[in-house]
Amino acid sequence: MRQILISLFLRDIKAFSLGTGGLLPFLFFLVIALLYPFAVGSDPILLAKTGGGVLWIAALLSALLPLDRLILPDVRLGFFDQLHLRGISEELVIAVRLLAHWLSFAPLLIFTCFPAAILLNLDKTTLVILITGLLAGTPGLAAVGLIVSAITAGLRASTALYGLLLIPLTIPILIFGAGAISRNEVTSVVFAASISLFLVAITPFVAGVAIRAEREN
């Protein structure tokens, strides 16, 4: 069992990280950080006041870019069915995939915060709060992506439903994550981490139920 789970993890990391698709979240985040000063002007006070929130929105959108690659291809190929026949539950597969998905985008985004902070004139304290918030909140964003991808995997025109499901699940993390920067405090980061931890805890079970429901249909 352990060897199978390690193989699944390496497979998912390769699928999410390599190739052009794996670089999309990083490139998207970097492009927003580069273009935002041109859009609002070079006023350092304005950039410092709004830059952290913009980076949070960029992180949110970057985490959700690969939604169509998280679950749907494997459902169509019968990948989960094969593992089920081998006695490996969907919950275990999703737990492994959640870790792989987070590692495929979060470290790069956090690393990019350093040059982005220079472009957006963020001071050291704001940068520390931003990075701490992203460390706390991005696991929850990854969890939301898996939940939505699993729920919509068997539905027609699933892309149209992404927004309806994503907004209520991601707004709490965004409010507390970006709010920590605007209020220059870490208390909100604790709330973001709590929401993120809750989402991570329920994701394997919610996604597992959704995948089994698709199999029965």
pLDDT tens, the chain, 217 aa long: 778 888 889 998 888 876 555 677 778 888 888 888 888 877 878 887 888 888 888 888 887 777 878 888 888 888 888 888 888 899 999 999 999 999 988 888 888 889 888 888 888 888 888 999 999 999 999 999 999 988 888 666 556 666 677 788 888 898 888 888 777 677 888 899 999 999 999 999 999 998 888 777 6
**3-state secondary structure (DSSP) of residue 186:** coil
Q: What is the model's pTM?
A: 0.88
The total number of structural domains in the chain stands at 1
Which domain range does residue 57 map to? Answer: 2-216
